[in-house]
Amino acid sequence: MTPQKKHRLTFLLYSFLSLSLAVVLLLFALKDNLMYFYTPSEVVPLHSFYDKKIRLGGMVKKDSIRQDTGIQDTFFTVCDEKSEIKIHYKGVLPDLFREGQGVVTEGKLTSANIFEAQKVLAKHDENYMPPEVAKSLNKPHKELASQSLERPNPNSR
């Protein structure tokens, strides 16, 4: 092996090791910040989720919201087609939060099978439009409709 090839091989080896070390350090540093999204049917049968920070998503079950407005303490149930989990949240709920609506919560599952949420994110469907935008879009259509309904009076010539 010529000295030039040996130098090139050494450079590539050190580059690969440096890059590998950087990736390992980055993953180790981000380990606590990585959260995966789970549904109730994925969480319920497993005890390995206890006291681990995860994201839990599903639909808010009908007639499951119990709220104490004095201390902003809320209990509700998140379900999917197979399972459901009780959620406990202290704080102000998002405006879009309601029964039958999609929700994503971030928190930890306790040994009592109650999910203690630190964050609640309400989801809306893809057809959502703020009321102001919907009103402004409907206004030109109403004006056009009223103009097309007005017929000229034949006697007004």
Q: Which domains does the chain have, with CATH numbers?
A: 37-122 (2.40.50.140)
**pLDDT at residue 27, as a whole number:** 84
**Lowest mean pLDDT across 21-30, 45-54, 102-111, 143-152:** 143-152
In sequence order, the 6+-apart residues with CB closer than 8 A to the CB of 92 are 72
Residue 88 counted as an annotated binding residue: no
Could you tell me which of 66, 104, 73 has the C-alpha nearest to residue 89?
73
**pLDDT at residue 53, as a whole number:** 85
Classify residue 128 by burial, with Cβ atoms within 10 Å: 0-12, 13-18, 19+: exposed
Confirm if 53 and 106 have CB atoms less than 8 A apart: yes
Q: What is the CA radius of gyration of the chain?
A: 28
Say whether pLDDT at 15 is over 50.
yes
One DSSP character per residue, 9-21 reads: HHHHHHHHHHHHH
**pLDDT at residue 143, as a whole number:** 52
- Cα(98)–Cα(75) distance, integer angstroms: 12
**What residue type is 145 in one-letter code?**
A
Q: How confident is the model at residue 148 (pLDDT cuts 50, 70, 90)?
A: very low
Task: Answer yes or no: pTM beyond 0.85.
Answer: no
- Cα(106)–Cα(85) distance, integer angstroms: 13
Residue 47 counted as an annotated binding residue: no
